[in-house]
Structure 1
């Protein structure tokens, strides 16, 4: 049986009349109307507005607190000929924010340049030394984008040097705001802006709109990239900005962006998925592995040659980033799955010489695998750790760490992600407090995370019309995910794919043999279990389009799955190898001797069941039956237990089914020979005797054992002699003869049967009450 990772929540208590009204009035499918209703758009007006994002839905930028103070100061600087520096950030949101603000100021005649802090040298946000250096080189006004709201020290220093700082930011607000000239923030405590979920580039766009006295539509491509990359809520006005921004990307006149699209092999129509998985990672790679200044240069350059050169450099860095991430992730995940960490609700993973620029990605991968809020740190100096944290939807990472922010050297972030540095001696305290705070919030990793399911879907409904209907919900992203559907079907064509065979691919099969491909990323290890189970599978997934040579087909990208019934894996072999016992699972032995022999090769964390010693079988375990029982009925000992998966090896050191029993003639020849010869040294002469009698050595040994058990011969210190007047007895009554017949019968059923026959037999034995 395969259990689901999430708790599936299907729609309930829906107003069917409302749904029908939305469907009829807007001329959309009932399914789409149902999804809109689930997401809070429960009348025709709100549903229509959602499906038709329009610039009229944008909020007035003038409502942002301090925005006029900021714009007036910028205009004053322009008039006075002051040099303005845009101080950005090294991620995609920061780079697009910087490029947008730089272009806006340049358009109104400002003397402007930009600075992107180096992640490794300058750290995140305002840096005192950098501010001092910028001011020494002539900067007279600093405008931050996507940072600054926690930059007290650097802003205070700028004030001391007579330079104003305008902060435009969207990150979590500290208890006390810095003494900046102006702070433009959608959640400013003294402001009343109606939507607080703008990204850094979204805030910069609002400032540019007031500065330019119009909405700069040509900059919406930058807005879309930054907003999608920063995982802000794609609802309300963000939906409008991203919707139009994606269209701008498709017709971009930016040489740098076009070069990036070309090298990533992205073609129109441009989707949020393409931006999130192809454009943003490449821009982020600059800041993760080196200096991100080239990112802004790529976005603002008008030189095609420069654009292509920078795009190539960025792509190469991204490939290098992927390699480093893979290497670090493998090591970090092993640490995450340690016995100690298995007991925790949170993870703090620490490594040496890990590239600090990719720790956020590694943390995300661990969260994906473990469903636990995770911090990944590396030693950057003897007594200093730096790293990043990522969280699950139900845990506010910033809220869990903010109460102990004074124990960090540096700390910042929001609900889903955070960056931090800390002294080594603070590690234990932060690790324990992080665990305590998250646990106190009610999070328990043993409880399944809720997964909202849009509804049940039949395979025959998956077609171009359905895909076109669902596409009306795009752009997809945070708070507006692709709809997840429950699908039940039989399974076929199960296989592992990917360079490391880490992914799972199979076909969902319906009546009339209709097949729909399905892919589950990082679930390759389930292939054998699914293949071994005859039960139908239930999956939760999104409908995805594949276009090949102009022809569209559709597949399911799986989020979660479950399958009833016991998966029985046929691994029968006549050779036991060490790698068979490398896994941390349950191994069942019918014979104590074999259990003792192979115990040194079994993982220390594995559970050994020695049935001769009456060891307990643990329930709900991945279980392997190692050896062959002496009797079919011995398998009844496996009843009344549950197994996550059952693998059968049924090893026996010497198979007898294919070996013929000695004939009566063979027994007669042996008896005659013994009667004519005395004091036979069995150990020394058995091979010679077998050759003489023209029988196999093992057969000869078996016949001598039968004679001994029936009293036909004596064996004293290895010397065999016949009995002068032996008792009368049938050969078939000897215990060895009976055991041989029984072993042949057991081997016939358990070793030489077809896989399907074996699975049927085991299913009936393990579930005797099921017809």
Structure 2
């Protein structure tokens, strides 16, 4: 059974917000997002581009901008070196297009995941040098490139590193390192993604907010799972507005190929539909199709690239299903793994481009920090995903001697190591997880923002809560706890009866509640359940021009069981 946990909210902040005129309900939701004053709440609920920070506050930005301006003035050849994921491709596109518009002699270089692998490579630096490049600017990569920075220096090339990943103890000796997470950086917002930092660099170059790139910054920000607070919230808020009427041919084609043309877009569409299509190129082939899509000015060319991404995305989905099935079979063959606080799964021939997605699926199913590894002879490449309460990067750092290289964040990471060390990795990673996680940590949890009466859930409430969007990491859609809701009707939905539909409340004012992939729960409900405790999210359903309010359920319990919403 999942734990229902009350979102921590400082009582002092709740009281302050109530005095500022917010309802107790909204005050608690805002306080749970670490918003403590009326001024902070107003900035959160009414994002403004003017609230974006001055980019020159970022350590390394001033010398970086000076060197780029010198290259523009002297007509030097510049290379933008990016990563092959959605964030990296968007970041590469932002900086490439901005420099091109400024008249630069600029080219883009995105490594091949399969031939080169992640990061800045010495061979690529030498190739760019042979092409006449004397200034390389990395985006979304490079923070660990110590040896590669020395190669650039030895060739007489200048290197500017822009990255958002966790810096190692020793930084590369580049002309400039721009990463708000680096020691001594006074920039207040540490959570920008790679494209967000590229956006800030263009902001500094132009001396104005580059609104023309809000669309790409928004897609990358949501797709890269950085917290949608602070500047990220501003970028996504205004990026979504721009995406409603896309001016970029490639983005318009992408939206149309995803079946979203003419529909109101949400952050969910960026994270689950647009982002995966851009990611599909680098996962299965090279990221060239995604980069060309985002940088073309030709609508017909954009349509062709979007079609290619659509084909690749379908192939990616099939590969994910196949590898996830193989991973599940591996777990079934090793029941002893079920008692361990972590999972390390490895398979020969698994596509390294999709194992991160498979790791996420395994976390959803088993609620354990999970490492999924693609074996290829003597080499092993892995992706890791975590659960709340376990800092993945820190955990991997404890066993760094096993890896040839690793990097990432609290919740996601990547690594490589010799195939012969996989068993050692499984044992030692389990030891690290066991030292940091309690049995309670390994129970799936649902964080409840506030308790609410059923009669308070109406269209007015739903519309007021829409001001909390866009939702995502750090600002999830509020989950509300409803106690003892009368159950009027329960039935299944879908061709395979996979989903559950409840009618709750009074016959005069019934409310619909939907639980996706919970169709099997109908058996329990058929056993005389008359009322239920619920945790769910309020939604507005539009049909034939009419608006109604409904709940999307995260969990439920029969009301004869005492509801337990713990404080931690």
TM-score (norm 2): 0.92
Give the alignment partner of residue 120 of structure 1, picking from 114, 121, 130: 114
- Decide whether aligned partners of structure 1 residues 224 and 57 sit closer, same or farther in structure 2, where only a CA change above 3 A counts: same
Partner residue of 1:359? 355
Partner residue of 1:389? 384
Instruction: Deviation per CA, 1:439-496: give whole Å up to 9, x if none.
Output: 2124436653553312223344333212211111111111111100112432633326
Residue 101 of structure 1: how far off its partner (Å)? 0.4
Residue 17 of structure 1: how far off its partner (Å)? 4.8
Partner residue of 1:548? 543
Q: Is the 8 A contact 1:32 1:469 kept in 2?
A: no
1:322 aligns to 2:317 (yes or no): yes
Instruction: Deviation per CA, 1:399-457: give whole Å up to 9, x if none.
Output: 00013223212311111101112112211221122111122124436653553312223
Partner residue of 1:495? 492
1:203 aligns to 2:197 (yes or no): yes
Return the alpha-carbon distance in structure 2 between the equivalents of residues 12 and 167 of structure 1.
38
Partner residue of 2:26? 32
Q: Determine helix, strand or coil for the equivalent of 1:472.
A: helix
Structure with the larger RCO, 1 or 2 (CA within 8 Å, 6+ apart): 2
Partner residue of 2:55? 61
- Decide whether aligned partners of structure 1 residues 522 and 169 sit closer, same or farther in structure 2, where only a CA change above 3 A counts: same
1:343 aligns to 2:339 (yes or no): yes
Instruction: Deviation per CA, 1:253-306: give whole Å up to 9, x if none.
Output: 101101111121223532211111111111111111111112121112110000
- Decide whether aligned partners of structure 1 residues 447 and 146 sit closer, same or farther in structure 2, where only a CA change above 3 A counts: closer
1:165 aligns to 2:159 (yes or no): yes
Instruction: Deviation per CA, 1:698-746: give whole Å up to 9, x if none.
Output: xxxxxxxxxxxxxxxxxxxxxxxxxxxxxxxxxxxxxxxxxxxxxxxxx
1:520 aligns to 2:520 (yes or no): no
Q: Is the 8 A contact 2:367 2:443 kept in 1?
A: no
The aligned length equals 556
1:418 aligns to 2:416 (yes or no): no
1:21 aligns to 2:19 (yes or no): yes
Instruction: Deviation per CA, 1:370-390: give whole Å up to 9, x if none.
Output: 11110111212x111112110
Mapping 1:237-252, distance limit 5 Å = 237-252=231-246
RMSD: 2.2
TM-score (norm 1): 0.69
Q: Determine helix, strand or coil for the equivalent of 1:379.
A: strand
Return the alpha-carbon distance in structure 2 between the equivalents of residues 392 and 498 of structure 1.
32
Instruction: Deviation per CA, 1:200-252: give whole Å up to 9, x if none.
Output: 01111111111112211111111111111111111122211221111121222
Return the alpha-carbon distance in structure 1 between the equivalents of residues 166 and 488 of structure 2.
46
Instruction: Deviation per CA, 1:110-163: give whole Å up to 9, x if none.
Output: 100101111111111112222222222222211100000012232222222221
Q: Determine helix, strand or coil for the equivalent of 1:561.
A: strand
Higher mean displacement: 458-467 or 428-437: 458-467
Give the alignment partner of residue 332 of structure 1, picking from 297, 316, 327: 327
Residue 10 of structure 1: how far off its partner (Å)? 6.2
Higher mean displacement: 532-541 or 350-359: 532-541
Partner residue of 1:480? 475
Q: Determine helix, strand or coil for the equivalent of 2:500.
A: strand
Partner residue of 2:175? 181
Q: Is the 8 A contact 2:49 2:209 kept in 1?
A: no
Consecutive unaligned residues in structure 2, runs of 5 or more = 562-568
Mapping 1:388-407, distance limit 5 Å = 388-407=383-402
Return the alpha-carbon distance in structure 1 between the equivalents of residues 187 and 416 of structure 2.
33
Q: Determine helix, strand or coil for the equivalent of 1:512.
A: coil
Return the alpha-carbon distance in structure 1 between the equivalents of residues 447 and 294 of structure 2.
38
Return the alpha-carbon distance in structure 2 between the equivalents of residues 320 and 425 of structure 1.
30
Return the alpha-carbon distance in structure 2 between the equivalents of residues 322 and 552 of structure 1.
34
Return the alpha-carbon distance in structure 2 between the equivalents of residues 179 and 561 of structure 1.
55
Give the alignment partner of residue 4 of structure 2, picking from 4, 7, 13: 7
Return the alpha-carbon distance in structure 2 between the equivalents of residues 336 and 540 of structure 1.
31
- Decide whether aligned partners of structure 1 residues 13 and 76 sit closer, same or farther in structure 2, where only a CA change above 3 A counts: closer
Return the alpha-carbon distance in structure 1 between the equivalents of residues 440 and 132 of structure 2.
53
Instruction: Deviation per CA, 1:737-759: give whole Å up to 9, x if none.
Output: xxxxxxxxxxxxxxxxxxxxxxx
Residue 191 of structure 1: how far off its partner (Å)? 1.9
Return the alpha-carbon distance in structure 1 between the equivalents of residues 472 and 10 of structure 2.
26
Return the alpha-carbon distance in structure 1 between the equivalents of residues 156 and 520 of structure 2.
62
Q: Is the 8 A contact 1:11 1:453 kept in 2?
A: no
Instruction: Deviation per CA, 1:625-666: give whole Å up to 9, x if none.
Output: xxxxxxxxxxxxxxxxxxxxxxxxxxxxxxxxxxxxxxxxxx
Residue 346 of structure 1: how far off its partner (Å)? 0.5
Off by >4 Å, runs of 4+ in structure 1? 10-13
- Decide whether aligned partners of structure 1 residues 313 and 547 sit closer, same or farther in structure 2, where only a CA change above 3 A counts: farther
Consecutive unaligned residues in structure 1, runs of 5 or more = 567-771
Residue 531 of structure 1: how far off its partner (Å)? 3.1
Q: Determine helix, strand or coil for the equivalent of 2:127.
A: helix
Partner residue of 2:291? 296
- Decide whether aligned partners of structure 1 residues 154 and 42 sit closer, same or farther in structure 2, where only a CA change above 3 A counts: closer
- Decide whether aligned partners of structure 1 residues 524 and 99 sit closer, same or farther in structure 2, where only a CA change above 3 A counts: same
Instruction: Deviation per CA, 1:173-200: give whole Å up to 9, x if none.
Output: 1111112121001122132111111110
Q: Determine helix, strand or coil for the equivalent of 1:188.
A: coil
Partner residue of 2:36? 42
Residue 7 of structure 1: how far off its partner (Å)? 3.3
- Decide whether aligned partners of structure 1 residues 13 and 63 sit closer, same or farther in structure 2, where only a CA change above 3 A counts: closer
- Decide whether aligned partners of structure 1 residues 10 and 375 sit closer, same or farther in structure 2, where only a CA change above 3 A counts: closer
Return the alpha-carbon distance in structure 2 between the equivalents of residues 388 and 134 of structure 1.
29
